[in-house]
Amino acid sequence: MLKINILLHFISNFEAKIMNLLEDRHRLERLDQLIRLEVTGSPDELAEKMNVSRRTLFRTIESLKELGCPIYYNKHKNSYCYEYLGKLIIKFENNLLDNEELNKINGGCGSFFYRVPTHDTQPLYFCPAKQDEFVL
């Protein structure tokens, strides 16, 4: 019974963390949209629109700046703006090398390594010259 309670507690915490991540993503996408449209209003107005404290808003904007978002406040427009056109994109990108990319890495001298399809997060690469050897 104790194991079941521990498992249920773990699942509950995991679901809560996933929901927090989804809420954070939604909040960042909404902030990005308001900045791109240049309709954020003053920091106080924006904090109210975003349903966060002024301090949380400033921390979020500072974090986005550290990630490379060129955000500044325009007093004439009464809005946060981007210095140039762009969009915040939050996604996971698959960085596995395909056989063509492996060929380029090998200087165009033929593909020495081939990616072996797996369901693992860590890809395997096979080298025909060294039979039965896999490289992580």
Domain range list for the chain: 2-82, 99-135
> Could you give the percent of the chain with pLDDT greater than 90?
38
> What CA–CA distance (Å, rounded) separates 88 from 34?
12
pLDDT, mean of residues 63-87: 93
Higher pLDDT, 42 or 114: 42
Task: Specify the pLDDT at position 111.
Answer: 47
Predicted pLDDT of residue 94: 65
CATH topology of domain 2-82: Arc Repressor Mutant, subunit A (1.10.10)
The Cα–Cα gap between 75 and 109 comes to 58
Average pLDDT, the chain: 77
Per-residue tokens: 21: 């991540």
Range with lowest mean pLDDT among 43-47, 71-75, 79-83, 86-90: 86-90
* pLDDT tops 60 at residue 24: yes
Question: Taking residues 2-20, what's their average pLDDT?
Answer: 68
Judged against a pLDDT cut of 80, whether residue 116 lies above it is answered with: no
